[in-house]
Amino acid sequence: MAKQISELNWKKRLLLVSYQNENDLIFDQSTKFISNYKCEINERNLKIIFFKNFKNKEYATPIFIEDKYGIWLIGYDGNIKDYTEDDKIFLGLFDLIDSMPMRKNEMIDDKC
């Protein structure tokens, strides 16, 4: 049975990527972002979950993703912090996360 993303509340920040196929710009830009910023992603305790055609093998599809493509940033509290239908979320993603109250305490140990 698929897990709920809510199981990650207070454990991980989430970036949910909903795309149609591997040729989509949103998928391509997301994988490039992951490749280029592995350290920064890990430092921010960010888990990235892909939903191809609204499905993921490990996690149940959240209601807000059904029939919608895009990228969502979910905070530790499980609330949506940002959403975009394209890859523009990456432009200010780290700044947005770094401005969050819980992140301020984590920044002491940054290694990147």
Average pLDDT over the chain reads 93
Q: How far is CA 12 from CA 1, 6, 21, 49, 53, in A?
A: 21, 10, 26, 11, 24
| Residue 110, pLDDT score | 74
Overall pTM > 0.85: yes
| Residue 111, pLDDT score | 77
Question: Which domains, from first to last, does the chain contain?
Answer: 5-106 (3.40.30.10)
Confidence of residue 97 (pLDDT cuts 50, 70, 90): very high
- The token duo for 3 is 């897990």
